[in-house]
Amino acid sequence: MRNEGVGSWAARRARMAPDRVALIHEGRSHTYGEVAARANALAHRLAGLGVGHGDRVAYLGPNHPAFLDALFATGLLGAVFVPLNTRLAAPELDYILDDCGARVLLWSPACEPTVTRLRAAARPVRLAGESTTDSAPVDVRVADSETCMIMYTSGTTGRPKGAMLTHANVSWNCVNLLIDVDLTSDEVTLVSAPMFHVAALNQTVLPTFLKGGACVLTGGFDPEATLDLIATHRVTCLFGVPAMFLAIARSPRFGTADLGSVRSMLCGGAPVPEPLIAAYQRRGLTFLQGYGMTECSPGALFLRAPESVRKAGSAGTPVFFGDVRVVTPGGEDAAPGETGEILVQGPSVMAGYWRLPAETRAALGEDGWLRTGDLAVTDADGFVYVRGRAKDLIISGGENIYPAEVEAALLDHPAVAECAVIGVPDERWGEVGRAFVVPAQGVAVEAAELLAFLDGRIARYKIPKSVVFVGALPRTGSGKVVKARLRAPVSDRREA
């Protein structure tokens, strides 16, 4: 087999154990042999559409076996997989498809309403189970240094950037995860978080696949359904963001639900609140959490089970094959307790941003250390505590929201003269957006109208949950908005 990349994983697993269950979806089991056969057939179909080495193949759809068929088929051809966020609006998807130059867009029937509104040039191919019957093995030479996938992450300017993750990046991330989490070949991993996010795909699905376990795929998250699936399939491992685990804990069945099969609970996207940690500890379960980002494939720090209580609130220490520094503005290592920026280096750090050489140089520098823009402190034992996001990033239910993108959309409304968006605490989602709006002179507008205006222009999770009308935005002498002052108590502002 000449393929050194992720695309070969289905075939490699199938030759070891073709009859082992790889995926479970809506009550149906799919073996490794079946996944490998479907991926090979889809690769033939894509080749017939002109897809070749280095071409981009985009995928739009919920968690489904077809997602992994598309990933492996694309990799078999040496092409580049581009998973798309199903929650994005059509204009946002158009930008990504044009930016990556996708030759083909594979899409699920569930996404037809969105696909009909797309204008991008990528050839749309509906996935409905049909494929060529050609079973000849696809054997293209693919080096592990080649790009496996482009994961788009929002930028501070409002335009998403494509992080290029190589096959080696993805593989080393899986190795790091398997060193920190004792996944076994009989693992049953529940995947409710969307696989178009790097954490669900690279921290749960692919490591489980590598070990030969089974993944239970769900099209969406529901706390009651999660408890049922755990009991029915004897789930041993599950991943989620804090908001998901909070919803499960709030179920009236949580105290008595059968959770006896669960061995590992992976949580990411935001720090886990200590009351939530305590709620699960009362059920005999411990969170495994860490810190990462798309550009790291994503793992960078990990808080391992033995330290999960003693170091609660920490993101842990560096993954095995990786290094992390917390540095001062002058580039020196910060002393314990001193705030600095997190820098990451290692074989799972991205190759760069797609077609953005200046941004790549700014992020990676000449030394290869990734500048995350995130602030943290370390303690005397070297454990890292993330303190904030230097780029004003809002994390809502595990989703990244950059205020500049929301502000740009709001300013398209004729009644908005100026605006600024910040994150405010929310019990359910961790953070939600709040918009401060200066109305255009002589124009009356209500909050509901502004929020409705955003629906369809940006993803719904990016739409602020509240609007505050102000006469002016606080600014520095150079004209920059002082968002720290916006985070002060609302007092006499009119809020909706």
Predicted confidence (pLDDT) at residue 478 exceeds the cutoff of 50: no
326 contacts 384 by C-beta, under 8 angstroms: yes
pLDDT 10s digits, 111-130: 999 999 999 888 888 875 54
pLDDT band at 489 (very low <50, low <70, confident <90, very high): low
Query: Does residue 396 contact residue 384 with C-beta atoms inside 8 Å?
Result: no
Cα 198 from Cα 307, distance rounded (Å): 25
pLDDT of residue 277: 86
β-bridge pairing 370-378 and 340-345: antiparallel
Q: What is the pLDDT of residue 494?
A: 46
Question: Which domains are present in the chain?
Answer: 6-378 (3.40.50.12780), 394-495 (3.30.300.30)
Tens digits of residue pLDDT in 412-426? 899 998 899 999 999
Residue 298: asked if its preceding bond is cis (omega within 30°), the reply is yes
**CA-to-CA distance for 115 and 326, rounded, in angstroms?**
43
Distance CA 175, CA 144 (A): 14
Q: What pLDDT does residue 479 have?
A: 57
- E strands of 47-206, at which residues? 56-60, 80-84, 104-107, 123-126, 147-153, 161-166, 188-191
For residue 476, pLDDT over 60 is answered with no
Segment 57-116, tens digit of pLDDT: 999 999 999 999 999 999 999 999 999 999 999 999 999 999 999 999 999 999 999 999
DSSP 290-327: EEE-GGGSSEEEEE-GGGTTTTTT--BEE-TT-EEEEE
State pTM to two decimals. Answer: 0.86
